[in-house]
């Protein structure tokens, strides 16, 4: 079975299924199709399936022209039917792994995908999980289901974990030129999975097991979460000491060794950094161990939206205004610049806190036309001189490159800048930095 599957991968007659066609799954599916494999995407949202089969993309990093070309050539198709996996040789699972409100892992999407994929598993089939999760997931969830169906790992079916490394909005690094870590349940599983991913990725990095590969992704994002937490705490300390944290960071960054620049902000967003370290922390609690760095960084980062609202309230107080009833215009709702992704965006927490304190909240984001909060729906408003002049406070949350910061500083009266976006601009506005 291994030899036959390797031959099909090598001569590009293998068919790949991709479960979940979002920010991770669609770029992956497109890159494999570009590499010459026929790809069938499985997506629960019928609207997305219809768009893709018409040759239209809904992910900003994936051009519609590329999708249309691959669909026309018969290399890419989408469906809601898992039964299509009967005709596939391999499947990559890219489903969400969010946190519950109790901040423990919600594994329901992975478990559901595992049930459906193993239902249509057949001899000579490779299953790769890409969804970020706690160490042990691949072995604990998939292996028992495959054994129940009489399969032997590494002989008639193959299982691996390969963490996604998609960075939405990154114009430099995509699927093809970002090294791919792969860990199989057996040596044969690793060999097959490595062969598959070499069709879509320039550099594949094999590791000893799925558990090691799962831990790699958690280390990557825990590293970032902790260092962002340090930068955020540095901002809080500099505020107490009357020091400009941005000046301190820029000066420290001139050191040519031993320092990596991280910057503070209104909180952390996206599906990875606010979520992934807590998967590791949760797993370690079951082993009677407290991941102290993770817990501390999470506490600091989670506090930042509240700190931003306090900055706004204090800045308004200096102007003789109360936060209650004040007109606050927020610039940027997405969790990072130049994308439309709202997942875990700190802007949402800031908006909720401002509304609870009875401020009049408006926002502008050219990438996010609408924001739905508990009990409120906000719509992006045009960024005009009149809108800036009417605001009691302009709050910078996301520093999109399309914003005209000179205009913002010229027409606003009071600005709270959480991203150091107005550095080097001139105008009459009073600017309060994070």
By annotation, the residues acting in catalysis are 272
Ramachandran quadrant class, 247 (left: phi over 0; alpha: psi -120 to 50; beta: rest): alpha
**How far apart (Å, rounded) are the C-alpha atoms in residues 282 and 80?**
32
242 sits in the region (left: phi over 0; alpha: psi -120 to 50; else beta) called left
Measured distance CA(241)–CA(253) in Å, rounded: 20
Q: Which residue has the tokens 């499985």?
A: 42
Q: Extract the tokens encoding 425.
A: 């601009």
Q: What are phi and psi of 397, to 5 degrees?
A: -105, -45
Specify the 3-state DSSP secondary structure of 394.
strand
The answer to whether the CB of 357 falls within 8 A of the CB of 309 is: yes
For residue 275, what is the DSSP state?
A: T
Which stretch of DSSP H or E encloses residue 401?
A: none
Residue 127 · residue 158 · CB < 8 Å = yes
Token look-up 């490779």 returns 126
DSSP-derived letter for residue 141 is: I
Contact between 185 and 153 (Cβ < 8 Å): yes
Phi, psi for residue 253 in degrees, rounded to 5: -70, -10
Q: How far is CA 134 from CA 104, 283, 286, 293, 381, in A?
A: 11, 6, 12, 17, 40
């Amino acid at each position: 079975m291994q030899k036959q599957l390797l031959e099909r991968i090598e001569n590009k007659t293998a068919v790949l299924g991709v479960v979940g066609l979002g920010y991770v799954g669609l770029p992956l599916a497109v890159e494999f199709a570009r590499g010459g494999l026929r790809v069938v995407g499985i997506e629960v949202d019928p609207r997305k399936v219809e768009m893709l089969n018409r040759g239209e993309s809904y992910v900003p990093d994936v051009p519609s022209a590329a999708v249309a070309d691959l669909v026309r050539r018969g290399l890419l198709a989408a469906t809601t039917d898992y039964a299509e996996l009967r005709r596939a040789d391999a499947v990559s699972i890219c489903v969400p792994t969010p946190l519950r409100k109790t901040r423990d892992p919600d594994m329901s999407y992975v478990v559901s995908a595992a049930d459906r994929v193993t239902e249509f598993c057949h001899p000579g089939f490779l299953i790769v999980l890409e969804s970020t999760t706690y160490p042990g997931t691949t072995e604990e969830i998939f292996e028992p289901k495959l054994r129940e169906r009489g399969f032997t790992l590494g002989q008639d079916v193959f299982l691996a974990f390969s963490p996604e490394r998609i960075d939405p909005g990154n114009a430099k690094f995509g699927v093809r030129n970002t090294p791919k870590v792969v860990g199989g349940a057996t040596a044969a599983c690793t060999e097959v999975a490595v062969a598959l991913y070499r069709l879509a990725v320039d550099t594949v990095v094999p590791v000893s097991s799925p558990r090691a590969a799962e831990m790699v992704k958690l280390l990557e994002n825990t590293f970032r979460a902790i260092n962002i937490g340090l930068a955020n705490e540095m901002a809080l300390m500099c505020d107490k000491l009357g020091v400009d944290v941005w000046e301190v960071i820029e000066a420290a960054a001139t050191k040519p060794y031993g320092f990596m620049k991280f910057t503070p902000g209104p909180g952390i967003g996206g599906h990875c950094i606010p979520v992934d370290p807590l998967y590791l922390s949760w797993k370690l609690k079951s082993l009677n161990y407290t991941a102290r760095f993770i817990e501390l960084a999470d506490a600091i980062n989670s506090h930042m939206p509240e700190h931003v609202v306090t900055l706004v309230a204090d800045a308004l107080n200096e102007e003789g205004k109360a936060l209650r009833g004040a007109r606050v215009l927020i610039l940027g709702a997405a969790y990072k610049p130049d994308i439309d992704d709202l997942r875990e965006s700190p802007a949402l927490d800031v908006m909720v806190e401002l509304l609870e304190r009875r401020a009049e909240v408006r926002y502008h984001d050219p990438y996010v036309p609408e924001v739905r909060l508990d009990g409120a729906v906000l719509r992006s408003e045009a960024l005009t001189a009149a809108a800036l002049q009417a605001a009691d406070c302009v709050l910078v949350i996301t520093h999109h490159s399309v914003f005209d910061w000179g205009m913002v500083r010229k027409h606003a009266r009071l600005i709270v800048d959480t991203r150091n976006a107005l550095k080097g601009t001139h105008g009459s506005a009073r600017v309060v930095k994070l």
